[in-house]
Amino acid sequence: MSWFSNIVLGFDTSQRDWGSDFTFNAFWGEVKFSFPRDDEGLFFRAFGKKIGDSDKAPIQDLIFLDGANPREQFKKYYLRSHGSIPEEAHYHLPGGGNLRGYYNQPIIGDQVLALNVELRKKFDPPFYRRKLRKILGTLSMVVFSDIASMEFLNSEHEFFADAGLGLRFENFLPDQWYTIFTGGRWTTFRLDFPIWVNKPLPDESELRFRWVFGFEQAF
């Protein structure tokens, strides 16, 4: 029986006395766990972050419910140019609360406690194995759920949740191939369908077709 885990703790600070335009502090921690393998089985991510003096922090450093904040996105050079991947494409970069069902909704705060859970299972039906696996790579099916408690800048709290299904395509490219999205030959293409959310937009229902994609695992 095997299991894999990773724990990261962090502290970020910005101070006017040090030449910054802003003064705030951020404390965060992340725990990732997988069982019984690192490519199949049960996976979870627990994440917590608190920003002090958040009223003095720029919006790009606050916590975004759906994923990475703008500063984290800027670290991906293919996202630095506005519109490089149109919003209509539904590209999702993991981070923050990581609630995929709230993609591109302006839900931000200064404190979050989040839990992301996935059950991944490799899937290799005969048709896929014969026709598509050589091109698309190993196929996995995923069932996931994300939950988070977020504190907004006005100190109010709300609870958010989503759930859905997903597909993962993982491949190792030939020697002469290279992808700007992964920076190497090992590629992952992720499709997630967060079909349920507990707090939908006013003109939506809790249960409906939603989707996002990415070039990395959700966590």
**pLDDT tens digit sequence for 131-158:** 787 778 889 999 999 999 999 988 899 9
Residues 51/61, Cβ–Cβ less than 8 Å:
yes
- 114: domain range? 4-214
Nearest to 112 by CA among 68, 164, 142: 68
pLDDT of the residue at 217 = 94
DSSP state of 37: -
| 161 within domain boundaries | yes
* Number of domains the chain contains: 1
Distances (CA, A) of 216 to 180, 183, 194, 213: 12, 11, 17, 9
65 neighbors 112 (Cβ within 8 angstroms): yes
- Tell me, what's the pLDDT at 28? 95
Tens-place pLDDT, residues 28-59: 999 999 988 878 899 999 999 999 888 888 99
14 domain-assigned: yes
Cα 187 to the center of its chain, rounded Å: 17
Residue 219 located in a structural domain:
no
Query: What six digits make up the tokens of 162?
Result: 């989503």
What average pLDDT values come out for the chain (219 residues) when binned by 10 residues? 85 85 92 88 96 88 95 87 85 96 93 97 82 83 98 92 96 66 74 97 94 94
137-162 exposure pattern, b = at least 16 Cβ within 10 A, e = fewer: bbbbebebbbbbbbbbeeeeeeebbb
